[in-house]
Structure 1
């Protein structure tokens, strides 16, 4: 049987893996950590100062607008449908220079 609600392959689903983080390599033991999903809006000229993602992997999926991600002097612009991955060894800053709000979803593993 392949009816909906039974354990079987999903019907009508298309899945595309956008990013992946090996949690064991990123944070080691999972005890004391949570998986958090957030929606964030950055106002025009808003931003986040340089910060590290050591032991705090995060994936961002941009919904609306364009922001600038700066890493080691290299600026990359991310817009709707793009994914940004921050893992161990990544120190970066985010800035909204677009003049319009930017909204994104983020998924991160961190201590509460």
Structure 2
């Protein structure tokens, strides 16, 4: 992958872990996995990069404030408050805040317990 295809490095982003649930004790066959909820704040000009995938950690995102621009497959899509998107094994993207106020999202995903 060429350098310009990787997208910029992360900057101006704060990730706060809100909660986790051990899925092994909830669902048979899910030992070692957890459901994770995070709040991600991107300052104006902030970037969540470089390009990354969600193989093995599917999730969903919901925007609380501001606008987040999602870059994937050469297409940019803007998501504002009350909007969201899925992140599945086919997701390959990077995010940025092109707006003038902080963008805040809630991210919920399934990940290996650390």
TM-score by length of 1: 0.71
Q: 1:13-60 deviations in whole A, cap 9, x for unaligned?
A: xxxxxxxxxxxxxxxx52211101111111111111210100111211
* 2:40 aligned residue: 40
CA distance in 2, matches of 1:93, 1:30: 28
TM-superposed CA distance for 1:84, in Å, is 1.3
Task: Return 5+ residue gaps in structure 2 as ranges.
Answer: 1-28
Larger CA Rg, structure 1 vs 2? 1
Q: 3-state DSSP class of the match of 1:100?
A: coil
Q: How many residues align?
A: 84
CA distance in 2, matches of 1:46, 1:73: 19
Per the TM alignment, residue 100 of structure 1 is displaced from its structure 2 partner at its CA by 1.3
The match for 2:14 is none
Structure (1 or 2) with the greater strand fraction: 2
SS of equivalent residue, structure 1 residue 80: coil
Task: Provide the TM-score with structure 2 as the length reference.
Answer: 0.70
| Root-mean-square deviation over aligned CA pairs | 1.1
Structure 1 CA distance, aligned partners of 2:79 and 2:30? Answer: 30
